[in-house]
Chain A
Amino acid sequence: METPESVRQDIPKASEKAEGRLEIREEPDLAGRSERLFGWILKGGGLSILVLFGVVILVCLVAAWPSIHRFGISFLWSSTWNPNRKIFGAFPYLVGTLWVTGIALITSIPVAIFSALFLSDYAPSWLSGIVSTLMEMLAGIPSIVFGAFGITFMVPLLRDHLEPFLARTLGTRWDFFNGDPLGYGILAAGFVVGFMIVPLVATVTRDSLLMVPQEMVEASYALGATKAETVFFVKLREVMPGIVGSVILGFGRAVGETMAVLLLVGNQPSIPQTIQDVGYTISSLLANTFTYAVIDPLYAAAEVELGLILLVITLAVNTLGRELLLRLMGGRLAGSVGGG
Chain B
Amino acid sequence: MGSMTRLEGPISGRRILVTVFVLGILLVSGILRPVVSLAAGNITISGSSMLFPLEQVWALAYMKKHPGTHISVASTGSGFGIANAANGNITVGASDAFLTKEFRQRYPNLVSVPIAFDDAQVIYNIPGLDKKVVLNFDGKVLARIYLGKIRYWNDRQIRALNPDVHLPHTRIRVVHRADASGTTFVFTDYMNQTSKEWYNQVGRDMSPAWPVGSGYNGSDAVVAAVMSSPGSIGYVGLGWVMEYHLTTGALKNLDGKFVRGSVDTIREAGHAALKDPSFPDDFNRSIVWNIHGKNVYPDANFEFWMVNTNLDAGTMKEVRKLLMWALTKGQASKYTVKSGFAPLPFRPLKPRLDKIINRLLPGNGFNERSPG
Direct contact of A and B (CB under 8 A): yes
Chain A contact residues, CB within 8 Å of chain B: 1, 5, 8, 11, 13-15, 43, 47, 50-51, 54-55, 58-59, 62-63, 80-85, 151, 155-156, 159, 180, 182-185, 262-263, 266-270, 278, 280, 284, 287-289, 291-295
Partner of A263, one of B202, B206, B217: B217
Contact: B216 with A267, CB < 8 Å? yes
Residues of B within 8 A of A184 (CB): 214, 225, 229
Interface residue B267 (Cβ < 8 Å from any Cβ of A): no
Cβ-defined contact, A55 with B215, below 8 A: no
Taking A51-B16, A262-B178 as contacts, is the C-beta distance between A294 and B214 under 8 angstroms? no
Shortest Cβ gap from A89 to chain B (Å):
11
What's the least CB distance linking A78 to chain B, in Å?
12
Residue of A183, A262, A263, A270 near B229 (CB, 8 A) is A183
When the two chains form their complex, are residues A291 and B79 in contact, meaning their CB atoms are under 8 A apart?
A: yes
- B82 and A51 contacting across the interface, CB-CB below 8 Å: no
Kindly state the separation between the CA atoms of A284 and B224 in the bound complex, as whole angstroms: 19
Interface centre among B80, B173, B214, B228 (most CB of A within 10 A): B214
Give the docked Cα–Cα distance between A293 and B23 (Å). 24
Asked if A295 meets B103 with Cβ closer than 8 Å, knowing A14-B9, A58-B24, A155-B228, the reply is: yes
CA distance in complex: A180, B172 (Å): 11
Query: What are 28 of the A-B contact pairs (CB < 8 Å)?
Result: A1-B1, A5-B3, A8-B7, A47-B11, A54-B1, A54-B20, A54-B24, A58-B28, A62-B24, A82-B208, A83-B208, A83-B209, A84-B202, A155-B228, A159-B229, A180-B173, A266-B215, A267-B178, A278-B214, A288-B179, A288-B217, A291-B79, A292-B79, A292-B180, A293-B79, A294-B79, A294-B83, A295-B82
19 new A-B contacts, CB < 8 A, other than A54-B17, A55-B24, A156-B228, are A8-B7, A14-B9, A43-B11, A47-B16, A54-B24, A58-B20, A83-B205, A84-B205, A85-B203, A159-B228, A284-B178, A289-B179, A291-B80, A292-B80, A292-B179, A292-B180, A293-B79, A295-B83, A295-B106
Q: Considering the chains assembled together, what is the distance between the CA atoms of A57 and B229 in angstroms?
A: 42
What 1/0 flags go to B79-117 for Cβ under 8 Å of A?
A: 110110000000000000000000100100000000000
Query: With A and B bound together, what is the CA distance between A10 and B79 in angstroms?
Result: 50
In the assembled complex, the CB of B317 is this many whole angstroms from the nearest CB of chain A, namely: 29
Measured between beta carbons, the chain B residues less than 8 angstroms from A84 are 202-205, 208-209
Contact string, B207-222, partner A, CB cutoff 8 A, digits 1/0? 1111011111100010
Instruction: Give the docked Cα–Cα distance between A58 and B11 (Å).
Output: 20
CA distance A47 to B202 in the complex (A): 49
Given contact pairs A180-B173, A288-B180, A292-B80, A268 touches B28 in the complex (Cβ within 8 A): no
> Smallest distance from the beta carbon of A90 to chain B beta carbons, Å?
14
Contact between B23 and A51, CB atoms less than 8 A apart: yes
For A59, the chain B residues whose CB sits under 8 A away are 24, 27-28
The reply to whether the CB of B130 lies closer than 8 angstroms to some CB of chain A is: no
Q: Within 8 Å CB of A82, what residues of B?
A: 208-209
Q: A9 to nearest B CB, angstroms?
A: 10
**Total number of B residues with any Cβ neighbor in A under 8 Å:** 50
- In the complex, A287→B221 CA distance in Å? 15
Interface of chain A, helix or strand or loop or mixed?
helix
Measured CA separation A25–B169 after assembly (Å): 90
> Do the beta carbons of A55 and B20 come within 8 Å of each other?
yes
Closest Cβ of chain A: how far from B178's Cβ, in Å? 3
- How distant is the Cα of A267 from the Cα of B106 in the complex, in angstroms? 30
A14 to B17: give the CA distance in the assembly, Å.
Answer: 21
User: Are A267 and B215 also in contact (CB < 8 A) when A55-B20, A82-B209, A292-B80 are?
Assistant: yes
CA distance A47 to B180 in the complex (A): 39
Q: Is B19 an interface residue (CB 8 A)?
A: yes
Q: Cβ of A182: which chain B residues have Cβ within 8 Å of it?
A: 173, 214, 229
Q: How far is the CA of A159 from the CA of B125 in the complex (A)?
A: 15
Q: Tell me the nearest residue of chain A to B203, going by C-beta.
A: A84
Tell yes or no: B76 within 8 A of A by CB.
yes
Chain B residues, CB < 8 A from A15:
9-10
CB distance from A257 to the nearest CB of B (A): 14
Chain B residues within an 8 Å CB radius of A80: 209
In the complex, the answer to whether B79 meets A267 with C-beta atoms within 8 Å is: no
Chain A residue contacts of B225, Cβ below 8 A:
184
Question: Quick check: is B171 within 8 A (CB to CB) of the other chain?
Answer: yes
The 10 A-B pairs with the shortest beta carbon distances in the complex, nearest first, are: A292-B180, A267-B215, A292-B79, A267-B178, A58-B24, A266-B214, A54-B20, A82-B209, A291-B77, A278-B214
Instruction: Contacts A13-B9, A55-B24 given; indicate if A288 touches B224 (C-beta within 8 A).
Output: no
B171 contact set on A, CB distance < 8 A: 180
Collect the chain B residues with CB atoms within 8 Å of residue A13's CB.
Answer: 8-9
Please tell me which one of the listed residues B20, B179, B215 contacts residue A51 in the complex, with CB atoms under 8 A apart. Answer: B20
Indicate if the CB atoms of A292 and B8 lie closer than 8 Å. Answer: no
Assembled-state Cα–Cα distance A323/B3 (Å): 19
Complex: A180 Cα to B152 Cα, angstroms: 13
- CB neighbours of A267 from chain B (8 A): 178, 214-217
Instruction: Tell me, rounded to whole Å, the shortest Cβ–Cβ distance linking A281 to chain B.
Output: 11
Q: Does B78 contact A (CB under 8 A)?
A: yes
CB proximity to A under 8 Å, residues B292-306: none
Task: Please report the C-alpha to C-alpha distance between residue A184 and residue B83 in the assembled complex, in whole angstroms.
Answer: 33
Interface centre among A15, A82, A184, A287 (most CB of B within 10 A): A184
A180–B208 alpha-carbon span in the complex (Å): 24
Contacts of B178 in A (CB 8 A): 262, 267, 284, 288-289
Please provide the chain B residues from 216 to 248 with a CB less than 8 Å away from any CB of chain A in the complex: 216-217, 221, 224-225, 228-229
A63 to B27, CA, bound (A): 11
How far, in angstroms, from A284 to B218 measured CA to CA in the complex? 13
Which of these, B202, B214, B217, contacts A268 with CB under 8 Å? B214
Shortest CB distance A275–B (Å): 15
Q: Quick check: B206 and A268 within 8 Å, CB to CB?
A: no
A48 to chain B, nearest CB (A): 11
Task: Give the shortest distance, in Å, between A118 (CB) and chain B (any CB).
Answer: 35
- Contacting residues, chain B, for A293 (C-beta < 8 A): 79, 180
Q: How far is the CB of A208 from chain B (nearest CB, A)?
A: 31
Q: In the bound complex, what is the Cα–Cα distance between A81 and B211 (angstroms)?
A: 10
If the complex has contacts A43-B11, A58-B21, are A268 and B209 also in contact, measured as CB distance less than 8 A?
A: no
A335 to chain B, nearest CB (A): 29
- In chain A, what residue has the closest Cβ to B225? A184
